[in-house]
Amino acid sequence: MTIGILAIGCSSQKVTGYETTAYKSASPENRVKIEQGKIDVGMSIEEWKASCPECQFLRKFTNTKGDYELWEVTGPGKDLYLQVQNGRIEKVSVNTPHSPRHKLGH
């Protein structure tokens, strides 16, 4: 009985994407994107993290001024490159694994 109560207590403390500060302060358009699990132009870093909690940050590259960043992120079945300027996503590029090339004549 005690184990069941502890398990319930731990799972109820999990924060969903809808309970995050990023979701609560997002624009109505970005709230819909978070609900749909999309990462799109105009979202902040906090909003894309709420939208894709299973995505993992790999690394970021910054220009010398520090106002432009390229974030490399891995998500379910794809790698993403997020061009971020002034804290907002300006462009999303998706890199999916290429299919193996077939040799000619075989």
Query: Is 68 exposed, middle or buried, given 0-12, 13-18 or 19+ CB atoms closer than 10 A?
Result: middle
Domain extent listing, the chain: 17-95
pLDDT tens string 31-45: 999 999 999 999 999
Cα gap 38→24, rounded to integer Å? 16
Residue 106: band (very low, low, confident or very high) from pLDDT cuts 50, 70, 90: very low
22 pLDDT higher than 50: yes
Cβ contacts of residue 32 below 8 Å, gap of 6+? none
Residue 8: band (very low, low, confident or very high) from pLDDT cuts 50, 70, 90: very low
Instruction: Give the chain's count of helices (H) and strands (E).
Output: 4, 4
Partnered with residue 70 across adjacent β-strands are 61, 83
Options 3.40.50, 3.10.450, 3.30.160, 3.30.1450; CATH for 17-95 is 3.30.1450
pLDDT tens string 42-95: 999 999 999 999 999 999 999 998 889 999 999 888 899 999 998 899 999 988
Both tokens of 6, joined, read 């502890």
**Residue 27: DSSP 8-state:** -
